[in-house]
Amino acid sequence: MNIIAETDRLIIRTWNPQADAEQAFYIYSDPEVTRFIITKVDSVESSQNLLKKWITKSQELNNGSGFWAILPKETEEIVGTIILIQLRDEDEQLTPNYEIGWHLKKSAWGKGYATEAAKAILDYGFKTLKLPVIYSIARSENTNSLRVIQRLGMTPVGRTTKYYKMELEMFKLANPM
């Protein structure tokens, strides 16, 4: 497993489908966690397949983007996922725009993990991948994610229907380097 980033409290690393499937299932089988996202699983096997798909996608693109596990250093228990991926348009074609996002299990909500992990991955995206701008998109009723986006200092772009075949609030952060 590769460590992508570390913070004072967190390790952000690649997923291990074999070892992490059960923890991923716990996260992505919770309807409250998946309420605003497309990702859902119905078994440990389907979560293992999901993790394999994420890894394969990242390897095929080979551009440094990906879906990574978030683990607090004190427990090393997976609390969620942080993503930095190319957005796809309404025809599922890759765009030049990158999106940052996060999914955390309910017991990890309100602890600052999403903000902390996102800051580390924004830093990775700007310094390592040299991205000029990173976007975040969320449903207007997803108040938890919108609060994280605010804490990250992202600027509102407005509403868009270009991605995920739904209306979403879009935000951006320019590379400060």
Residues whose CB falls within 8 Å of the CB of residue 71, separated by 6 or more in sequence, listed in order: 10, 11, 12, 13, 77, 78, 79
Cα dist from 152 to 19, 83, 146, whole Å: 31, 15, 10
Please answer whether residues 39 and 32 qualify as being in contact, where contact means their C-beta atoms are separated by less than 8 angstroms: no
Q: What is the pLDDT of residue 117?
A: 98
pTM of the model: 0.94
pLDDT band, residue 91 (cuts 50/70/90): confident
14-38 pLDDT, tens digit per residue, is 999 999 999 999 999 999 998 888 8
| Phi, psi at 84, each rounded to 5° | -140, 100
Question: Using N-to-C axis directions, what is the helix angle for 44-61 and 17-28, rounded to 10°?
Answer: 110
Q: Where are the alpha helices (DSSP H) in the chain?
A: 17-28, 44-61, 113-123, 143-151
Q: Name all domains of the chain by residue range, CATH numbers in brackets.
A: 3-131 (3.40.630.30)
Helix (H, G, I), strand (E, B) or coil at 91: coil
Please answer whether residues 80 and 116 qualify as being in contact, where contact means their C-beta atoms are separated by less than 8 angstroms: no
